[in-house]
Amino acid sequence: MTLPLEDINILDMTRLAPGPYCTMILADLGADVLKIEEPGGPVGRRAEQGQGAADMPNLLDRHSPYNALNRNKRSIALNLKADEARQIFYRLVGKADVVVEEFRPGVAKRLGVDYETLKKLNPRLIYCSITGYGQDGPYSQLVGHDINYISTGGALGIIGEKDGAPVIPHNLLGDFAGGGMHGAIGILTALVAREKTGRGQAVDISMTDGVVSLMAQFLSTHFATKEVPPRGDTYLSGAAPHYNVYKTKDGKYLSLGSLEPWFYANLCRAIGREDFIPYANDEGQKRQEILSYFREHFLTKTRDEWFDYLRQWDICVSRVLTVDELASDPQIVARQMIVEVDDPRAGKVKQAGILVKLSETPGSIRSLSPASGQHTDEVLQGLGYAREEIDRLRGAGAIR
């Protein structure tokens, strides 16, 4: 089967969520992604930071077969601080289409793996940098994580309950959407541009920029009206009774999204309160009355009972699923968004499925996360290194 990106070679120097997610998307679509990893792991402050991350609950080892972010990739372990390892990297760059890194601005240059250096070796190279704030600007050297980028980008300020503190939406907006997904878009765009110009280019992805882009509609409304959307007090953030989340009899939650008048009317009819229909846009006492009634009424049945009943009325309704329920949801199953893959180490492994659905050249999961340096010998032999030289480089600590 032909894969759409099967002729694209990517060198992946990334570690944390945004970069691996970016290259996972591309690897799922057929790109040959080679992870450049450190022999023996990081040292110094980065080792301390890495140890802290490893102790965090629910953070999966990046080499685990369960870690979807590193599937469909190969791994070579290079110590880029050693000149001999850099020379190997340079030879790989000569054959590569894309390099992806997420170092703080300036670090890649100190290592000798920055765009200005590498484009001299390969003018067609596309070099994608994913950072918190971008390659320039007063915050470019400021350390941060998702919570900081969504704060600066304005998203955190609009998420949460009225008169309450902002609610942290995990690391979905900055890391995965703002950084990883926009990185994949940038790389694919640069590949298309290269077909026209014959030249590669640098792709500068800022997670904060990505969050601001996700805020486009909110910003448009603000610039047009000069109003600042109050947290938890707009139709899309919890103010409207018919666009809200309700606890049910079994302690689970149901979500309603019946914004349009006809959907709202259907909702009112379904629960026997047609008298609420004229008050869909009420912002006063009636809204509070409807909200209170909904909260009490939805406690009378379980979540699934409500879903099965309300879905018959042409209403925007959904079950609020927990992660352990996704694999059995019929829509998720039908779209193959939870898949089971065979792994020689772990047996049957479940993961999130492939995002992009292509009718003629669909992506595929061909392998799960590799061990660090698993493909070092294979890659070096492909570059023409003899067995004796590979053993010498390994003994010198340049590779693993």
pLDDT one-digit tens code per residue, 323-341:
999 999 999 999 999 999 9
What length does the chain have? 400
- Has residue 379 got a pLDDT over 50? yes
- Span 87-115, pLDDT tens digits: 999 999 999 999 999 999 999 999 999 99
Catalytic residues: 145, 175
pLDDT above 50: residue 54: no
As given in the structure block, the two tokens for residue 232 are 């938890």
CA distance 171 to 166: 14
Amino acid letter at 354? I
Which domains does the chain show, CATH number per domain? 9-214+358-395 (3.40.50.10540)
Element (H, E) at 74: strand 73-77
Q: What is the DSSP letter of 250?
A: T
Q: Are 319 and 303 in contact (CB under 8 A)?
A: yes
Partnered with residue 101 across adjacent β-strands are 129
Query: Which of 79, 81, 45, 38 is CA-nearest to residue 62?
Result: 38
Nearest partner of 101 among 186, 205, 210, 174, judged by Cα: 205
**Residue-level pLDDT at 57:** 55
pTM of the predicted protein model: 0.94
Q: Label residue 50 by pLDDT band (50, 70, 90).
A: very low
Which amino acid, 263? Answer: F
As a whole number of Å, the end-to-end CA separation of the chain is 33
Q: How far is CA 282 from CA 143, 234, 290, 291, 296, in A?
A: 45, 12, 10, 11, 20
Tell me the per-residue pLDDT of 222-279, one tens digit each, with 9 for 90 and over: 999 999 988 998 888 999 999 999 999 999 999 999 999 999 999 999 999 999 999 9
Note whether 136 and 162 are within 8 A (CB): no
SS3 339: strand
Q: Is the predicted pLDDT of residue 190 greater than 90, yes or no?
A: yes
CA 182 to mean position of chain CA atoms:
9
Run of H or E including 99: strand 98-101
Nearest 5°: the CA angle 343, 98, 87 is: 90
CA atoms within 13 A on the CB side of 184: 23
